[in-house]
Amino acid sequence: MKGYNTKKRTLVTGGAGFLGSHLCERLLAEGNDVICLDNFFTGTKDNIAHLYENPHFEVMRHDVTFPLYVEVDEIYNLACPASPVHYQHDPVQTTKTSVHGAINMLGLAKRTKARIFQASTSEVYGDPEVHPQPENYWGRVNPIGPRSCYDEGKRCAETLFFDYQRQHGMDIKVARIFNTYGPRMHPNDGRVVSNFIVQALKNEPITLYGDGTQTRSFCYVDDLIEGFVRLMNMPAEFTGPVNLGNPGEFTMIELAEKIKVLTGSESELIHKPLPTDDPKQRQPNISLAKETMDWAPAVTLEQGLKSTIKYFEQLLRG
């Protein structure tokens, strides 16, 4: 039911963040009425300023750890700081955002009979013993470490989503997001792509943690948002969780060297100790997404890095 309006009313929590802003843009382009909800802890108005003139776009400053009363048809729950620098700043609030936020958004979805999407994470797999990680792998997570507020918060949110579905017949979708990069990443979020690009553009030393042989898989933001929308539009019986990421695997040294070439940087590579509980390998098995949603990443690492570097060049010029 869409009231007197023929447009789908969609709520995006964390809508002013890196992923949220791209999702709001995509949903508006598809003809939705979009409520962008954010407390602006890591999100920024700069990410969504170009959308303000759209009469079907609305911004609400609100924290998901408090209940929300709006009328919506769909909810994308993206609210949560997602980089170690930000989620370890206030770990108790990070857990509250994942857990209380999930409870509040599920409560809203239950009242409005809305379909609800949870942005989960590859961090639910922890430092994995299975490689690449399929959705039926339960993970290897330290419940009391410095990363636990995020890892366990997201694991508990998944529990809540599936318990609400079993107990109340809720219409849920759960995506496990692997490393994603692109324009509008926060320049000081401590993530490897933004770190390396900013350091390279400033000709500062590029910081590698450990020996630099640990691997990550990098998905360009446009590919990820396509996965979000496809998952949300799947039949109700397909709930996920489903891995969304790029299975191409690169060592940190390979990434640093590629960014140096693309930026023409003269930065040297330096090594620092590996942070506690930092996973050594991270690569998605995306067979489920391919088979059920016909989804796979289309943007190569080089193409994506060029767009991301261009964004950071403009940002650094002010």
- Look up residue 35 and give its two tokens: 């409520």
Q: Do 214 and 256 contact (CB within 8 A), yes or no? A: no
- Look up residue 251 and give its two tokens: 């060592």
Question: Could you write out the DSSP letters of every residue in 72-98?
Answer: -SEEEE--S--SHHHHTTSHHHHHHHH
Distance of alpha carbon 257 from the chain centroid:
25
Upstream peptide bond of 279 is cis (omega within 30 degrees of 0): no
The residue written with tokens 């999930």 in the block is: 102
- Look up residue 22 and give its two tokens: 């791209």
Q: Which residues pair with 220 in a beta bridge?
A: 181
Could you give the count of Cα atoms lying within 13 Å of 186 in the half-sphere of its Cβ? 21
Number of Cβ atoms within 10 Å of the Cβ of 280: 12
Q: What is the C-alpha R_g of the chain?
A: 19
Catalytic residue among 76, 87, 125, 150: 150
The yes-or-no answer on residue 137 being catalytic is no
User: Who's near 163: CB < 8 A, 6+ residues apart?
Assistant: none
Q: Which residues pair with 40 in a beta bridge?
A: none
- Going by the DSSP 8-state scheme, the letter that residue 216 receives in this structure is E
Write out the catalytic residue numbers.
150
